[in-house]
């Protein structure tokens, strides 16, 4: 039970942390909103592919 709880916390924290960190990273490196959007889209697509592979056995 403890391992499952920690895994859930780590996943949710990882997804929530993006919204807090992105403005600071963008300002630090001078990134435009378009570049940030492309990067976050890549993260979301990767997460979706991993989830689809786990749930329905999608081969990519």
Give dist(CA 30, CA 32) in Å, integer: 7
* Residues of the chain with confidence (pLDDT) below 50: none
**In this predicted structure, what is the pLDDT of residue 59?**
65
**In this predicted structure, what is the pLDDT of residue 30?**
95
Q: Where are the domains of the chain?
A: 2-56
**In this predicted structure, what is the pLDDT of residue 27?**
94
* 30, 36 Cβ separation under 8 angstroms: no
Give dist(CA 40, CA 35) in Å, integer: 9
**In this predicted structure, what is the pLDDT of residue 60?**
59
């Amino acid at each position: 039970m403890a391992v499952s709880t920690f895994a859930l916390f780590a996943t949710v924290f990882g997804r929530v942390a993006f919204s807090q960190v992105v403005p600071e990273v963008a300002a630090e490196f001078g990134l435009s909103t378009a570049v940030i959007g492309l990067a976050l889209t890549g993260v979301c697509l990767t997460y979706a592919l991993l989830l689809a592979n786990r749930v329905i056995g999608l081969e990519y």
